[in-house]
Amino acid sequence: MDNRGLSPVVGKTLAASIAVLYVAGMTALLLNGPVPAGQTAAGGELGERVLATAAGHVEAAIPDGDRRVDVRTEVAMPATVRNTGYTLELRSGRLVLDHPTDALDRETRLLLPATVTVADGNWTSTDRLVVRVAGAPGNRTLWLEGDR
Amino acid sequence: MDRGQAPLTAIEAVFGVLLLSSVAFVFVLGTPASQADETQLELYASDAATVLSSEGPRHADQTRLAELATSQATFEREQGALERRLDRLLPANVLYRIETQYGTVGYRLPADVQTGTATVSTVNGDVTVRVWYA
Amino acid sequence: MTARAQTSLPGLGVAFLLLTAAVFVGLVAAEGALGSTDRAALDRQAAVGLSERLTADRAPLTTRTSVLNDSRLGSLDAATLRSTYGLGPDTAVEVQLDGRTLAAVGDPRVGRTVRRVVLVETRQRRSLTPAFTGSQRATLPRRTDRVLVTLSPPAETTVSEVRADGRVVLREPGGLDGTYDVAVSPYETTTLRFETTGDLDRGSVRLVYFPERTRPAELEVTVDG
């Protein structure tokens, strides 16, 4: 009967500490395995879509018609992929997504008419993306421009 | 007292499981609509709009779509022919609706269905093409 | 009272077991949701881009946007796909029209396909010899984008001007003679009027025109990058 007042306290404390240990263990387990993996998978998909959208807008920015042009098309892009900024690079006709997490790097080839020259350049996701096309119909040049 | 305690824990556990599974269901059911379908439907809509807007009128005006949007009378005259034209143009599993200021041609748009849309500006006002999978 | 504290421990164990199971099921579901979403945005974008290039205005295959010229379809092959449309060396592509393969590079088995609604245009060649009974006009029975006008007027007649729907398309005050290629509007019925000194009769003018026939078709582009 001495432990009559003590044993509920011991029992509850025991249960509570087991519960805390369980939650802590589960959290540690999830944060070390599935959560980052899921983030990378989702980030990879988002990055791929971001690059595909950018490529589509760049390809669509070439105006029709046979006049001399100088047009700027603004493209809405997400500022971050997997919580970090990224850069888009134009390198000899290829559009490259460069992300601090190397597993998310992607690249694609731009399908542009042969009369369009692609100027190499970079764009950082903190800027607004502007695609500029200028020149005579037979010899147009395309740039990526950042616009703060 | 002995009997009261264990079921209470079990009930708590059941609530916990319900909470977790509802979160899990959001993952399963809440995934965004298919990107593939969205892209394809937008292409069907813009293709149909492009083809129709470059077709000559059956009577008079600049294009077939401009003729449709001229007046109530031309709309009623043209809607049958346009419907037959779209039935031939679009694949069998794609339904359509054309909206003008004088009325709509085509099928009734179901609620909560993924659609592709294209709008053509004609001299007589905008004409909107909407397509969706049957 | 000790019994009371102890029954809660097995209860706790069961609850944790249930929770662990639920977490596991949730993880599997999340994994499944991520895995089943379409991961080929780039392939699809490439297919959309290629289909845009194929159906663009003034593309090698088209007469205008979304209208393919039947006589040029044969010119599309693997080499032109690579050279004209700038595909990567390891990209597999297939272009089909109504299920018939126009050109293929590699074997795009797991690629993404986009379908485009296009018109396929075939031009026929028709000729017309107007009789010119009581007028100096000739109306072409079907719409065309060009007319070949062959003028061989009688000796005492000079044709100074030809108008298409009121617009002067040929003019030579000294007299027109020979075959001329005239571009006319494909969107309306064309009436040609001949300004002459003297009369025209049957055989003085021969017209060759090219009415188009179009049929709807489905262009399928599959890309596997």
β-pairing verdict for C191-197 and C137-139? antiparallel
Domain containing residue B95: CATH number: 3.30.450
Q: What value, to the nearest 5°, has the Cα angle with vertex C61 and ends C56 and C64?
A: 45
Tokens of C204: 């003085």
pTM to 2 decimal places? 0.74
Question: pLDDT value at position C195?
Answer: 87
Task: In whole angstroms, give the CA distance from residue B30 to residue B45.
Answer: 26
> Domain check: are B113 and B100 in the same one?
yes
pLDDT 10s digits, A104-128:
888 888 888 778 888 888 888 888 8
Q: Which residue has tokens 């100074």?
A: C160
> Domain check: are B79 and B97 in the same one?
yes
Question: pLDDT value at position A5?
Answer: 58
Domain count for chain A, please give it.
1
Note whether B16 contacts C41, CB cutoff 8 Å. no
pLDDT of chain C, 225 residues: tens digit per residue: 444 445 567 777 877 888 888 888 888 877 777 776 656 788 888 889 889 888 888 788 888 888 888 888 888 888 888 877 777 778 888 999 998 888 888 888 888 899 999 999 888 888 888 888 778 888 888 888 889 999 888 888 888 888 988 888 888 888 888 899 988 887 788 888 888 888 888 888 899 998 888 899 999 999 887
Angstroms from C41 CA to nearest CA on chain B? 8
Say what the ipTM of the complex is: 0.76
Angstroms from C45 CA to nearest CA on chain B? 9
Chain centre distance of CA C38: 27
Note whether A108 contacts C225, CB cutoff 8 Å. yes
Domain that holds residue A70: 33-147
Question: pLDDT value at position B94?
Answer: 92
Q: Which of C12, C49, C57 sits opposite A64 (nearest CB)?
A: C57
Element (H, E) at B82: helix B72-89
Domain count for chain B, please give it.
2
Note whether B13 contacts C10, CB cutoff 8 Å. no
Domain boundaries, chain C: 41-123+216-224, 130-202
Q: Is the pLDDT of residue A143 over 60?
A: yes
| Local confidence band at B128 (pLDDT 50, 70, 90 cut-offs) | very high
From the CB of residue B124, how many other CB atoms can be counted at a distance below 10 Å? 20
pLDDT 10s digits, A13-41:
888 898 899 999 999 998 888 888 888 88
Distance linking the first and last C-alpha atoms of chain B: 61
Question: pLDDT value at position B41?
Answer: 92
Question: pLDDT value at position B31?
Answer: 60
Angstroms from A40 CA to nearest CA on chain C? 11
> Domain check: are B97 and B127 in the same one?
yes
Domain that holds residue B117: 35-133
Helix (H, G, I), strand (E, B) or coil at B88: helix
Note whether B16 contacts C18, CB cutoff 8 Å. yes
Give the mutation candidate from C66, C120, C144 for the B interface (greatest B CB count, under 10 A). C66
- On chain B, the residues whose CB falls within 8 A of the CB of C63 are none
Question: pLDDT value at position B33?
Answer: 65
Classify residue A11: in a domain, yes or no. Answer: no
| Local confidence band at A48 (pLDDT 50, 70, 90 cut-offs) | confident
Q: Is A105's Cβ below 8 Å from some Cβ in C?
A: no
Angstroms from C118 CA to nearest CA on chain A? 19
Q: Is the pLDDT of residue A49 over 50?
A: yes
Q: Chain B residues contacting C, CB < 8 Å?
A: 1-2, 5-6, 8-10, 12-14, 16-17, 20-21, 23-25, 27-28, 31, 34-36, 39-40, 43-44, 47-48, 50-51, 54, 56-57, 62-63, 88-91
> Domain check: are B113 and B56 in the same one?
yes
Q: Is the pLDDT of residue A70 over 60?
A: yes
| Local confidence band at B116 (pLDDT 50, 70, 90 cut-offs) | very high
- On chain B, the residues whose CB falls within 8 A of the CB of C119 are 51
Q: Is the pLDDT of residue A4 over 70?
A: no
